[in-house]
Amino acid sequence: MNRLATKTAIVLGASGAGSMGPAIARRLAAEGARVVVAARRREPLEALAREIDGAAMVCDVTNSAQLAALARFAADRYGGIDVAVNAAAQGHLAPLAETLESDFDRMMAVNYRGAFFFLQTMIRAMRQRRGGSIVMISTASVRAIFESHSAYAAAKAGMEHLVQAAALEHGRDGIRANVIAPGLTATEMSGGFVRMPGVIPAFTRELPLGRLGTCEDIAAAAAWLASDECFMTGAVLEVNGGLTLRRNPTMAEIQASMAAASPALAAR
């Protein structure tokens, strides 16, 4: 398909190998969009930009001045911004009572404060085009509560409220703002955890569709949200195989699954 042939897109968080940002950038480019990829690491960004015939710019989501510069770069290069995807994130896995203040502050800076300024910056740019689509990546554990995920999920829950506020306030400007909520997905951020023996079976037992989601699943949803076919705003797409119909596994269940998969782990 060529649904995005007239559009310019920004994808922030696009430097992680095997992660959602690059998959989304590739899918938007395949749909015809001119894509600006951004993240903190220059080399993988530039390689991705060459691959998709796009452009790259270093940008830290926690820095509002850099976000403004990213918007200016995309507008100067391609004439405006029609689609903005924020896939930048950092995770943290620790019990609530053991989460350090520095870890909590980092979760809020990247996943909440950065989201606020991303929304603000892209709305300002899109108002000049009289419309656009903003897509933010959240987590299914906002609703399917997962142990030891409190700081990360709380920041994402706050981000979802910001998206709803943006959708309500700027629908009159022709701007749509929506969220994709994946479950556990094999990405750079989760890779070490996902690769541990027994982890995937512990999660897939809870999934009605019987498998973990992929970055390509998220990219397909992002492409639809970016397109003019989408008549939706302020919504959360649960692209997680039905996880939120059930629940995430408990840590005890994950540990039991790991022990069953690995005698070495069981012996510890």
Which residue type does 184 have?
L
Look at residue 241 and tell me if it is in a domain. Answer: yes
Look at residue 258 and tell me if it is in a domain. Answer: no
- Residue 78 belongs to domain with CATH number: 3.40.50.720
pLDDT band at 264 (very low <50, low <70, confident <90, very high): low
Paired strand residues for 10? 36, 84
Cα angle vertex 36, ends 71, 114, to 5°?
50
Residue 126 to residue 254: CA distance in whole angstroms: 44
112 annotated active-site? no
pLDDT band at 253 (very low <50, low <70, confident <90, very high): confident
With the CA atoms of 66, 69, 74 and 79 taken in that order, what torsion angle do they form, in degrees rounded to the nearest 10?
160
**pLDDT computed for residue 16 by the predictor:** 83
Q: For residue 198, report the phi and psi dihedrals to the nearest 5 degrees.
A: 90, -15
In Å, how far from its chain's centre is CA 150? 17
Q: Which of 22-26, 51-55, 186-190, 239-243 has the lowest mean pLDDT?
A: 186-190
Residue 169 to residue 172: CA distance in whole angstroms: 7
Nearest Cα to 11, choosing from 47, 65, 49, 42?
49
Look at residue 118 and tell me if it is in a domain. Answer: yes
pTM check: above 0.85: yes
Nearest Cα to 179, choosing from 195, 164, 191, 196?
164
* Annotated catalytic residue within 151, 152, 153, 179: 152
Confirm if 176 and 210 have CB atoms less than 8 A apart.
Answer: no
Look at residue 200 and tell me if it is in a domain. Answer: no
pLDDT band at 263 (very low <50, low <70, confident <90, very high): low
Interval 155-175: pLDDT, tens: 999 999 999 999 999 999 999
Q: Is 58 exposed, middle or buried (0-12, 13-18, 19+ CB in 10 A)?
A: middle
Confirm if 160 and 236 have CB atoms less than 8 A apart.
Answer: yes
Look at residue 255 and tell me if it is in a domain. Answer: no
Rounded to a whole number of angstroms, the CA Rg of the chain reads: 18
Which residue type does 18 have?
G
Q: For residue 12, report the phi and psi dihedrals to the nearest 5 degrees.
A: -95, 140
**pLDDT computed for residue 265 by the predictor:** 54
The residue whose two tokens read 């897939």 is 204
Q: For the chain, how many structural domains are there in total? A: 1
The residue whose two tokens read 């994808």 is 11
Confirm if 26 and 53 have CB atoms less than 8 A apart.
Answer: no
Nearest Cα to 179, choosing from 238, 231, 104, 262?
238
Residue 79 to residue 57: CA distance in whole angstroms: 16
Residue 3 to residue 6: CA distance in whole angstroms: 8
Indicate if the pLDDT at residue 71 is higher than 60. yes
Q: Can you give the residue range of the structural domain that contains 165? A: 8-188+213-246
Look at residue 260 and tell me if it is in a domain. Answer: no
